[in-house]
Structures are given as C-alpha cells and as structure tokens.
Amino acid sequence: MPASAQDDFLSITGLEKIYPSRAGAILAIKDVSLCVGTAEFVSLLGPSGCGKSTLLRLADAKTVLFVTHSITEAVFLADKIIIMSPSPGRVIDTMTVELPRPRRLAVRETQDFTRYVARIRTIFEGFGMLRGTHVHE
C-alpha cells in the first residue's frame, strides 16, 4: 500500500557516492532521490554495477529495501519498484505495484502483472540493458 509523504520512513534527495581509486574517482550513484513509506516493501532494480548495493549500504535500511536483478521478482514482491540506470546509477523511474496481497504465484499469469513486467522491460530496452545478462526477466 503506497504511503503518503507524512508516512515516509526513509527519504533521500540528490544522493551521490564517489569511490576513490588509483585510476581516478568512480561515480557509483548520481542524483538519487527516493522515498520509502513505513511498512512499504521496495525493490531496487537495475543492472550489475548500477549502485543498488551502494545505495542499500548508504541508506542503512536493510529491512525495507530489497536488491534484485529480476524484473518478475521485483514485481511479485514489491509495493514500489525503484528502477535504476546503468552506472552511474540514477533513479530513472519509480513504479507503484498495485497487485492484491497476499500475492499467490498465480498472480504472475494475470494481465496486470504482465503489464508491469512489460513496462519495466521497455524501460530497460531503452537503455540497452536487456541485451546481455545484467538484468533478468
């Protein structure tokens, strides 16, 4: 169930993380903004190396944020999906998943579930992220 702004458990605005390296600075995430409501299950979805785990460590909210590469897993589990771009990771879309709870496996065969998966797939294809094995359907 989506939360209102007053119910935010975690709010991040304009977050960036740069890691130093011998080859020069590595921009891991850039201008990331998101809100997570109280008791909301949120999936961070994106390709390998986009900063999902970095964001999880920085947010220090491991009980609320779930990191995955799987589109169907994110849609099945989450109330909200935060879709991240390839490196440097940026939030490119936030999608509220309005599927009934509790969710049974059969929900994956519904038109609503298929529409959520297709919308994310289209976003990833636009960034060229489904050509390899970085994101799984």
Radius of gyration of the chain (CA): 15
Strand partners, 136: 70
Can you tell me whether residue 91 is helix, strand or coil? strand
pLDDT for position 132: 54
Q: What are the chain's domains?
A: 5-126 (3.40.50.300)
pLDDT tens-digit series, residues 79-116: 999 999 988 999 999 999 999 999 999 999 999 999 99
Per the CB < 8 A criterion, the answer to whether 92 and 84 are in contact is yes
Task: Answer yes or no: is pLDDT of 13 > 80.
Answer: yes
Position 1 scores a pLDDT of: 43
